[in-house]
């Protein structure tokens, strides 16, 4: 749990590409980050100091199940492999359910 102002956000640190702790690619995923600004997201990503940190948001596209923004400690990325997979895992484990069978993730690069 992380606090920003008076709001608390859940986040998870996951190991992508491994079922065993400390053997995968680490990723921090902030859940329900819609009220965070890009500045807030960049600051949080810098604080985690991981190669990538993602933020799960409500989608802008009606076709998407959720939206993800991906940040490194110094910049936002339009797309990256392990962050999209790890974010999907966290979305599903947090109760996310696809609308139409397939999971449609929206990111800066598209659907």
Distance between CA atoms of 77 and 52, rounded to whole angstroms?
9
108 annotated active-site: no
**Catalytic residue, candidates 52, 76, 106, 108:** 52
Q: Within its chain, how far is the Cα of 61 from the centroid?
A: 17
Bridge partners, 26 (sequence order): 15
DSSP label of 107: B
Q: Which residues of 25-77 form beta strands (DSSP E)? A: 25-31, 53-57, 66-71, 76-77
Active site positions, annotated: 52
């Amino acid at each position: 749990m992380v606090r920003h102002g008076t709001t608390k956000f859940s986040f998870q640190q996951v190991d992508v590409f491994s079922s065993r702790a400390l053997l995968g690619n680490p990723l921090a995923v902030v859940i329900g980050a819609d009220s965070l600004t890009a500045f807030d997201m960049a600051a949080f990503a810098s604080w985690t100091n991981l190669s990538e940190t993602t933020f799960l948001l409500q989608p802008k596209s009606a076709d998407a199940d959720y939206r993800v923004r991906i940040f490194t400690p110094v910049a936002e990325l339009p797309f990256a492999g392990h962050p999209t997979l790890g974010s999907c895992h966290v979305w599903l484990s947090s109760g996310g359910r696809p609308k139409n069978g397939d999971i449609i993730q929206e990111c800066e690069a598209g659907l």
